[in-house]
């Protein structure tokens, strides 16, 4: 059963969170939200889902002075999930890329058949 667009987007955001945690496990949810361009609430929702499924483990640590921060660690199950999500993401994006290539070729052929104007050609005379 194909995933819905909203679940695909959530999967992409969850994958981005996994990748950011790999880079900086001490990153705050606020920083994650800023880096990913999504709301803090959405990051919190996704992080809680990843934690609830056992994909991410949270630890407290002293950041500076008396401030407590969190350290996010991807669990072995989380690593497997990240690999699975990466595979599905690449598979979907490869299919999109191949479809775009086909669409571009078809449009170029249509333009050529219809006598594309000079401004639609590059310096070598190929249709853009």
The pLDDT tens digits for 15-33 are: 999 999 999 998 999 999 9
5-120 topology per CATH: Arc Repressor Mutant, subunit A (1.10.10)
- Residue 43, C-beta contacts closer than 8 angstroms, at least 6 positions apart: 17, 29, 32, 33, 36
**Percentage of the chain exceeding pLDDT 70:** 80
- Residue 89, C-beta contacts closer than 8 angstroms, at least 6 positions apart: 11, 12, 15
State residue 7's pLDDT score: 75
Give me the residues of the chain with pLDDT under 50, please.
1-2
């Amino acid at each position: 059963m194909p995933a819905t667009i909203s679940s695909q987007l959530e999967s992409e955001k969850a994958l981005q969170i996994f990748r950011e945690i790999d880079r900086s496990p001490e990153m705050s949810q606020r920083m994650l939200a800023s880096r990913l361009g999504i709301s803090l609430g959405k990051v919190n929702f996704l992080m809680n889902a990843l934690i609830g499924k056992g994909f991410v483990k949270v630890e407290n640590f002293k950041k500076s002075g008396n401030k407590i921060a969190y350290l996010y660690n991807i669990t072995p199950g989380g690593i497997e999930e990240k690999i699975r999500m990466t595979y599905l993401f690449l598979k979907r994006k490869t299919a999109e890329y191949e479809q775009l290539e086909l669409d571009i070729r078809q449009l170029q052929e249509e333009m050529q058949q219809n006598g594309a104007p000079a401004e639609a050609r590059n310096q070598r005379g190929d249709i853009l």
